[in-house]
Amino acid sequence: MEKVRVYWNLHKHTWSIQSCKSGLVIDHRQFVSLKDAKFVVRKGGQKRVREEGKKNVHAFAVGYQIDNSKLHNSNLIDWDRVKYNPYNDAYFMHGGVYPKDNSWRYISEDFVGYIRMESSHYADRISPRVYI
């Protein structure tokens, strides 16, 4: 099983899957599930986003891709929503899906577990959704 990096592709509006070994993008998917996964924020890229006001790929999930059906059919009540805003957040944050609240907390940089990523369609746009 190959270790991969997964990030939201702003141009294709889908998840890009990059090989950690070769650095090449090997696939694009609307749904991705990872195990033994963690979040990474490269501070240099984050600093550049804040200085230039232009996004770049500096934050992603790293782990081993697994069959989507194992995680995507599970109940969302058991998952926390994840967000990351490079302009405001130092790292990835999570909050409970139910009840809906705005109490976001930083995810520990030591976190390793399952990460679930999907593309959600709202009105005229496609948005990324991430859960742990």
99-130 pLDDT, tens digit per residue, is: 555 688 999 999 999 999 999 887 788 899 99
How do the domains of the chain map onto residue ranges? Answer: 3-131
Provide the whole-model pTM. 0.87
Structure confidence at residue 95 (pLDDT): 87
Exposure of 110 in the CB half-sphere (CA atoms within 13 A): 0
Residue 51: how many CB atoms within 10 A of its CB? 8
CB atoms within 10 A of CB 67: 8
pLDDT digits (tens, 9 = 90+) for 34-59: 999 999 999 999 999 999 999 999 99
